Structure 1
Amino acid sequence: MNIEFAGLIALGILVAVLFFIMMLRDQEVAKKLSIYEKIIEDLNHEHHQLSKEIQNLSKSNDFDLEAFRTEVAQQVAFEVQNSLTPIIQSIKEIDEIMQTFQDEQTNRIDALEHRTKEKNFSQINNTESNEKTIISQYKSGKSEAMIAKDLRIGIGEVDLILKLANLK
């Protein structure tokens, strides 16, 4: 019974400690809530005073709310225009630079295409002249290796041309 009694006392102490911790937490939360309530109350009071002031100013002849709004809108538009003008100018300059670059690239591509067409045309003519040269040199007695070396082409190409000409 002694152990059971000690267990009950320990359980009672545990419950008392938990109850005490809960009470402390509750007091902290209550303090925070009272601070928040005071802040909200002050803000509501300030809002009410400002609303009364705005109503009094709008009713008086000294202050024209619409004129003030118009003036503020004009000032905002002026400031926005002043801040955007340099940006717009920079964008236009960048656009001009990009257009110039694009034109240069287009001209380069056109020049490359023109050179490619010229090379393809010269290669066709060069191949026809190589065929005639290969055939004439082979008939004059030169070997395939010598012809390939003179014309700076492969032996296989020389051999192919000779076979197509029925000389081999």
Structure 2
Amino acid sequence: MEMRQKFRYAIILLMSQIALNCDSSGELASKAREKEAQGNTAEALYYYDLALRENPENFTANKNLGILLAESGEAPGSAALYLEKALKKDPKNPEILLYLLEIYLLAGSRDETETVLKGFSESWDKDRESLARFLSSCILDSKKNVSERKRFVENRIPESNPASKRLFVVCEKKLYEETSGK
């Protein structure tokens, strides 16, 4: 009887520790988001790192840290690592896919770009899928598509996400700059 009680106590203690770690990781990610919203990037990075030390699978921390690093442009490899981890939890997330697309297109990585395009094809956001295919074709293959470009400009689709907006500018400069003034 006493052995059973000790066993129950050990299980309860273990479960409460797991719950505490999950809450702790979530709280740290929330603190990081607060710091990021205040413009304190260094502290945000610190709290995201702590959250991921507590729980390496924390979706929010992986996604937000990946985006923060992608936005900085300083660590695209690390950004891709965190975004890929987040993508495993939400494989159809268009925001994550767009940031990964930016990283892989700018690196000239065709295989990774194809993987991201496949992710778009399985998602519900067909406008962003067609934008992703347009940007890939423009940046990697130097192919113009004037009618698609016009549709995106008129509907302001690239402006819905900072990564797609930056990629659209790269495409514009690469292929359309001489025609954009006419």
TM-score scaled to structure 1, two decimals? Answer: 0.28
TM-score scaled to structure 2, two decimals? Answer: 0.26
Q: Which has the higher helix share?
A: 1
Larger-Rg structure: 1
